[in-house]
Amino acid sequence: MIRFEHVGLRYGIGPEVLSDIDFALEPGSFHFLTGPSGAGKTSLLSLMYLGLMPTRGLVTMFGQNINGLKRAQLAPIRQRIGVVFQDFRLLNHMSAFDNVALPLRIQGKSEKEIKNNVHELLEWVGLGEHMHVLPSTMSGGQQQRIAIARAVITRPRLLLADEPTGNLDDEIGFRLMTLFDQLNRMGTTILIATHDQNMIERFGHTKLILDDGKIYAEDPKHWLAKKIEGVF
Ligand SMILES: Nc1ncnc2c1ncn2[C@@H]1O[C@H](COP(=O)(O)OP(=O)(O)OP(=O)(O)O)[C@@H](O)[C@H]1O
Ligand SMILES: [Mg+2]
């Protein structure tokens, strides 16, 4: 469904930040993306939500080769993808409610359906009391929860989340991870960039590791085995 073949990326005339990226995500899979700061996690996610185009190689999204697609042809692909940005990218002149409602409004859903869905989700992420507040007056963790709600409200086919629990305490972070797990069980393919090793071990999905411009997969069975070896 999603495939990168020999993909490279450079910004302007700078060095390649990603080189020879080769991997595929099967429909309905759940992966963590990890790697040191500056390894290129955010850059890789940008290629996946079509915010950047690769400087070389082949990117296939939902079975479609994206190289050479026109802007109008990219829009329907983007609409199938929910993104939680590392820097949130909320609209600060709109309330939390309106930020989360926006993707549903773009899809032309009725105001009644929007109200029900947005209320339920904002309650669930613990922001029931803050629906009509402007994001700029909220804490980092609260803004992060709005960004997550906005990304999942349409039940996208692919969810990309960049450090989505970075500003949350353990309890609410765990709660939001269970939200991603539920979404995954309903069929959404998920890729989460995170430094949070506890979260990775707790949820045990395959880890994709970015290092030195390349990507490696590490099966949970493999690192669990390594961990057990370390203990005994
Ligand atoms: N807009 C940009 N222009 C030029 N260079 C960039 C740009 N964005 C990222 N880079 C460079 O690309 C490399 C990868 O950055 P990226 O943000 O993708 O890493 P990351 O793995 O997400 O890091 P972090 O864990 O700190 O979020 C870094 O060397 C960074 O300096
Ligand atoms: Mg990043």
pLDDT digits (tens, 9 = 90+) for 199-225: 898 898 999 999 989 999 987 666 555
The per-residue pLDDT of the chain, averaged, comes to: 93
Using CA atoms, how far residue 205 sits from 60, 105, 148, in Å, is 23, 33, 20
Ligand 1 within 6 A of CB of 146? no
Domains, the chain: 2-80+156-231 (3.40.50.300), 86-149 (no CATH)
Ligand 2 center to residue 64 CA distance, Å?
Answer: 26
Residues with CB under 5 A from ligand 2 (ion): 41-42, 86
Question: Does the pLDDT of residue 231 top 90, yes or no?
Answer: no
Task: Label residue 121 by pLDDT band (50, 70, 90).
Answer: very high
Residue 126: exposure state from Cβ atoms within 10 A (0-12, 13-18, ≥19): middle
Whether residue 43 has its Cβ less than 6 Å from ligand 1: yes
Query: How far away, in angstroms, is 41 Cα from ligand 2 center?
Result: 5
Closest ligand 1 atom number to CA of residue 40: 18
Q: Give pTM, 2 decimals.
A: 0.93
pLDDT (0 to 100) of residue 198? 87
CA atoms of 185 and 211, how far apart (whole Å): 30
